[in-house]
Structures are given as C-alpha cells and as structure tokens.
Amino acid sequence: MKKLLGLSTAAIIMSTAGVVSAASNPFSDVPADSWAYDAVATLSADGVIDGYPDGTYKGGNTMTRFEMAQIVARAMAKTDIDKADKALVDKLAAEFAEELDNLGVRVADLEKKSDNVQFSGTARLRYDDGGINATNTKANNDDTASHSHIEYWIKGKVNDDWTAIGQIETEFNNETGSITAYGGNDHQVNKVYVEGPLFGGTLKAGRYGEFSSYGRIIDTEISGAEWTWGDPNEGLSGALTYGRLKHERNMAGTTFNYGQKLNSEGEYEPNDMGISLGRGDDAGAYTSARLKYNFSPVTAMGVTYGHLDHITMEDNMYNDYSDDGADMWEIGFNTSVADNLTLMAAYSKSDRDGVYDSVGDEIKTDGWFSELRYKKHDIKDPGSFAIFANYRNVGALSTIDATVDYTENIKGWTIGFDYVPIENTTIEVFYINGSQVNATTSDGAQDVDIFRAQMEFYF
C-alpha cells in the first residue's frame, strides 16, 4: 500500500467531516500542483499526519499497517462524521483491528501509568485568640495560638479496584518558632490505608479518619477497618467500624482539676494534674455502626452507635483506674429550609456518668450542636462565600473528638463566614461567645470568647 493512497482514503473521511483545504503545505516534497497537495495540507493542519523531521512527507514510501492504523484511530476520534463515512471508518477499523488494539493498549498503559499516583495537599495559616484553653486547666487565662500547617496527600492505584492512600502532616508554631504539634517531631504520618470493593460495599483498612454521622462523637484517626455500603447521597447507607484510637487521645478532650492535694510542705494546693478520660495502654478499641437515610436530595438523617473500651481515669492521687469503657450515641439531620439556606442539628450522649468537675458538679454527658448556613463556598469559584451561625452546648463526656473546633465543654454562639478570594484559596473568620459547660478550675466555669482568622490553600 502506497503512502499517498492511504492518505487519500483519510482525506476523503476527514473532508466529509467538514474539513476544508489548508492554506499552506508544511512538506517540501509535496508541490502545489500535486494531486495530493490539498489532502496533505489539510490532514497536516488537522493533526492527522506528521511527516519526517527533515520537513518531508515521503509520499512515495510504502505505508505500514501500523501507520495506517494511526490515521484510522484519528478518524475514529472525529465526532461529526456522516453516517456513510462512519460505516467506512468502521470497516477500516475492522481491517486494522489488531494494530488498533496494540495501539490502544500502549496508549491506555501510558495514561494509566501517568495517572497512577496523584498528589494533593492543603497549606493553612491560622491565628486564634481568647479563651482557647477552655478544655484544660488554664481556662481562666486568655491566650493566643498561631500556626502554619501543611498536609500532603499521596494516592496511588494498586489495580483497577484498590487504592492506597497516605497523608503526611507537619505544623510550625509561629509564636515559639518551632515544630511542636507532634511531640517535637518534624512531621507525622497521619493516615495510611487501602480502599477497595468488598461484598458489595467498600472496605477501608489501615490508619484512616473515622467520622460519625455528623462528627459529634468522633472525627479523628483510628487504626482498624471500616466497611461501608450503599450510596451516602441516595437512599439508605451504613458503615461498620472496628479500630483503635491514638494512645494520647482523650475521650473528653478535656482535663479537669480534681480538688486539692498536699504539697511537699504539707499544705493543700490545687491539683494541677487533674483528671482526664482516655484509652488505656493495652486497650482503646473503638467499635461503631452508623446508618444514614436520604429522604430527598436536600434532607437526610444519620444515627451512630459507638463503644470505646477500657477508658482510663487518672484521679487526684495519681492512680489510674480502667473500667469497661463507654457507650455513645449520636443522631442528627440536615435539610434545606429555603433557597441557599441549610440547617443541621445533632445530639450526642454517652453513659460515662459519675465523673465530677473541679467544683464538684457532675460532668455533663450529652451535647447539642446546630448550625444555620447561608449559601455555600466552592474553592473552584472565586467570589463564592458562606455565612454561618451555630449554637453548641456540648458536655465533655458526650464526644471523643468533635469535628468542629472549640466544641467540647463549651456552650454558646458562633458567627462566621467562609470566602474564596481566588481559586483554590479560602478565608475563614469566626467568633465564639459562650462559657464552659463544666468548670476546669476551682474558680468555676469560665467565660469563653474566641476569635479565629485563617487562610487555606489547596494544591
């Protein structure tokens, strides 16, 4: 088969798709008076043929079957070919099926390798001011916190079904000039897990982020496995989880002074060590089941049950006591109450009663959180924004780690906004006005006023 004969076939196909003669011919060995001039120029301009590095086309050479298959493949990519010419392309495709298959395999493999590993991340600059110590024994001291944080995600395809995912984080304390967020380490590998289909659902195994229905019981990393089923955006869906919390994770996220203790001079002083509830060295297993039902595209309800094993309580005599843990429940809903206006509310509770705060009151074991949000910001849409207001009254023993910051042991109002000034960048500002639910010092429950301003950059 001569090269120009193959060219003429392709020219017929492409010309019926609305291609007209090109203004100039890029090949020195195809003169203007050649019968193939218009076809060569047109197909070159349309990217169907290439030629040789020396600027020639060499139309008298014999065309290989693979070269013809490339032309057919490019013709197949055209979407505006007439029905009759589509039939001709299909016949050519059948004739060169083996060559097209080989070409397709090579292209597919190349695309697969280039897309196999994906990298993304978030960089954050944050400043907090006010009663930021509301969950520990320094609550009566206003303070500031400022950090630069970056997290880096790595996602790779193991095969067509399974994916491996990792997340690395580091955080720089802008006030102390040091990396202190992770025990002085430069960074931590926060998540490492695999994800893929199993028994009609999806299995996630490794160290991953666990999230209850509305994040009121838990939003933190565990090491274990989670099996989910159903479409979370349609109808009924659910999940089963078993794993272990971080060693240092407290159930309450809060530390309370516990009465007084004798110092070395035999005098009583506040017990700064206080009490906290956390997982024991040999336990800390977390088990949960959750269900979600979408009543409509804008209304849903979720329920979660969780159990934390072998909670350790440290008392004022520096003794550690382990017990059978805590059962926890969460129920919530979200709905659109009007155009651009959404409402969510969630309630959480544990059975971990009989624990008292710094002034002798029993620590609250349940909590409410509700939020009204106007509009929705989108990092791909500069100028988009959201305005939100929420109310919280969250007992310390109703949560392990809630998804919204400054929730545990705080009651009060928050107002704030999210704004996208440029693509892949957000600004968030909010103000919290409230008080502690339970006192963390002998001075009683403290007022809590917190201001936050932060920018996040997505890449």
pLDDT at 242: 95
Helix, strand or coil, per DSSP, at residue 180: coil
- Report how far residue 403's alpha carbon sits from residue 413's, in angstroms, rounded to the nearest whole number: 16
| Conformation bin of residue 185: beta by default, left when phi > 0, alpha when psi is -120 to 50 | beta
Q: How many helices (H) and strands (E) does the chain have?
A: 5, 21
Distance CA(414)–CA(359), nearest Å, equals 27
Q: What is the DSSP string of 384-422?
A: -EEEEEEEEEE-GGG-SB-SSSS-TTEEEEEEEEEE-SS
**For residues 6 and 424, what is the distance between their CA atoms, to the nearest angstrom?**
48
Identify the pLDDT of residue 73.
72
Among positive and negative, which fits the CA dihedral 31, 35, 41, 43?
negative
Residue type, 270: P
Helix, strand, coil share of the chain (percent; to 5) = 15, 45, 40
Is the pTM of the predicted complex or chain greater than 0.75? Answer: no
pLDDT score of 344:
98
Residue 340 — left, alpha, or beta (φ > 0 → left; ψ -120 to 50 → alpha)? Answer: left
Helix (H) or strand (E) holding 14: helix 3-16
Q: Measure the CA dihedral 50/56/60/62, to 10°.
A: -40
Residues of the chain below pLDDT 50 = 1-2, 5, 12-13, 16-23, 105-108, 110, 262, 272-273, 279-280, 282, 316-319
Q: Taking a C-beta distance cutoff of 8 angstroms, is the pair 49, 43 a contact?
A: yes
List 415's β-bridge partners, or say none: 389, 431
pLDDT value, residue 426: 98
Model pLDDT for residues 390-407, shown as the tens digit of each residue: 999 999 889 988 889 998
Domains in the chain with CATH codes: 3-112 (no CATH), 119-458 (2.40.160.100)
**Rounded to whole angstroms, how far apart are CA atoms 131 and 434?**
10
